[in-house]
A and B are shown apart, each in its own frame.
Chain A
Amino acid sequence: MEGTPRNMLLIMKSVSGCNLSCKYCYMNAGSRPSITIMPEEILKKTIKEVAALQLDRIEFDWHGGEPLIAKSDFYKKAKELQLKYISTHTIVKNCLQSNGTLVTDDWISFFIDYGFGVGVSIDGPEDIHNSNRCFKSGEGSYLSVVQGIKALQEKGIDVHVMPVVTEASAHKAKEMFDFFVGNGINHLAFTPCFPKSSGIEQLYEGFGKFTIRPESFGKFMVDIYDLWMEQNNPAISIRYLEQIIKMLLGGKSSLCIFRKGHFCHRFLTIDTNGDIYPCDSYMSEEFLLGNIKHDTLKEVLYSHKYNRFKENVVKISNDCKCCPIFDICGGGCSFYRYVQSGDFRSKSYYCESTKMVVNHISKKLFLNLKEG
């Protein structure tokens, strides 16, 4: 279909609640009075709609809340519907982002048999992790998560982790790096803690008190880069840093945040009740695009509202375009630009941290040249 992307990533909010009550959770998933599993009619309609787009590649990212609260039968049904409706010409990938506390041998067999990739949320060593990621009782979830990760690793599953970095953990880069590498976790996507429901004025209040400041995140990633290079282990992959190195060496980034807003339209989010949004950073009334129960994805992708969104996310200020690192950062994540003032032409909230990291890596690589 002309005008639609050939590759898409669908964020499927298969479960609305969570068995944890993480202190920085901007979705407040652990405090919801009831937990809802995505109804089968929404699952089926979504997959039929994806099939109608005739894409080259589609990735379903199963999120929550905690997606393992749904039984494996839910995901088996999803796979069955994908096989039934989506053309064999379309590459279909499934990934699931879990808090790791509900992993069992049955789940592991399911992941292997059905080809699901697994990402686990763990923030680092016990004290760092448990300071925020707790069960509803207040007890830390560290031991359960590590048990889940070990069980996955024992069955040969290469676990990808997404540690959230807060202002409190920002100065503990070495502890965190040593912890992950020491536990055989090689795929790391460090994420700045940024409670998305906060307005910029309330950024350091309420949930926002966990927000990591740009200079702290920049310093943290610089420290991680130095530790990684010092260890010189090619098996380790640190997503954000690796993409910057790749671009400095002349390659292209596959990470949306570095693509000048041109990858935003590859993402859609389907909420548990069928509501459709762009990427899940934009799950608010302002960006609501429709509901899968009564709208088709084609209608959504061609809607005035979605086209306005596509036009807006690529609007980048001239100040950014003139910046020496613009070819690398591309202005950064559109949401971090938008959240500054409600205008996509603002500079990214994390502009300064990106500058710190890009300049550090660049300097290190050029220094190597001079030394060579």
Chain B
Amino acid sequence: MDTIDLKNFKAVLASGRISGSQVILRIMREIKAESNPVLQHGNWEQWEQWDRWDEMYTPRPPG
């Protein structure tokens, strides 16, 4: 199955126009936070600008 091209994907997320972008960013942050992550697909180097992405993640209270 095709998987996500993270290089383009982060730009799309950064646009803030996507349905569910905050949820997806939270999941991406958790993938990144896992110790010694081993990717099944994709290239970890594509995550190099992660720190900047993380700043975009602003949790908000439920509801």
Q: Which A residues fall within an 8 A CB radius of B?
A: 181-182, 184, 186, 228-230, 232-236, 242, 245-252, 324-328, 358, 362, 364-366, 368-369, 371-372
Contact = CB atoms under 8 A, between A and B. Distances in A.
A245 B1 contact: no
Given A232-B23, A235-B60, A235-B61, 14 more contacts: A181-B62, A228-B23, A233-B63, A234-B60, A245-B24, A249-B4, A249-B9, A250-B41, A252-B40, A365-B4, A365-B9, A366-B4, A369-B4, A372-B12
Nearest to B42: A250
B40 A327 contact: yes
A44 B13 CA distance: 52
B60 A233 contact: yes
A327 B12 contact: no
A248 B24 CA distance: 11
Given A235-B61, A325-B1, A371-B12, A247 B23 contact: no
A246 B31 contact: yes
Q: Taking chain A's interface residues, is the majority helix, strand, or loop, or is none over half, making it mixed?
A: helix
A184 B61 CA distance: 10
Chain B contact-residue range equals 35 or more
Contacts of A250: 3-4, 6, 31, 39-42
B12 A232 contact: no
B34 A251 contact: yes
B6 A236 contact: no
B54 interface: no
Contacts of B61: 235
Interface in B1-46: 1-6, 8-9, 11-12, 15, 17-28, 30-31, 34, 37-42
A229 to B, nearest CB: 3
B51 to A, nearest CB: 18
B27 to A, nearest CB: 5
A232 B11 CA distance: 18
B19 A230 contact: yes
Contacts of A362: 1-2
27 contacts: A181-B63, A184-B63, A228-B23, A229-B23, A232-B23, A234-B22, A234-B26, A235-B60, A246-B31, A248-B3, A249-B9, A249-B27, A251-B34, A251-B40, A252-B40, A327-B41, A358-B1, A364-B20, A365-B9, A368-B9, A368-B18, A368-B19, A371-B17, A371-B18, A372-B8, A372-B9, A372-B12
A149 B42 CA distance: 41
B53 interface: no
A358 B11 CA distance: 23
A249 B6 contact: yes
Closest 8 CB pairs of A and B: A372-B12, A229-B20, A250-B42, A234-B26, A251-B31, A250-B39, A229-B19, A234-B22
A321 B43 CA distance: 23
A173 to B, nearest CB: 16
A19 B8 CA distance: 54
Contacts of B38: 252
Nearest to A327: B1
The residue among A184, A229, A232, A250 with the most chain B CB atoms within 10 A of its own CB is A250
A248 B4 contact: yes
Given A249-B6, A250-B6, A233 B23 contact: yes
A249 B11 CA distance: 14
B20 A232 contact: yes
Given A236-B62, A251-B34, A372-B11, A245 B19 contact: no
A184 B1 contact: no
Contacts of B57: 234
A236 B31 contact: no
Contacts of B23: 228-229, 232-234, 236, 245
Nearest to B44: A250
Contacts of A232: 19-23
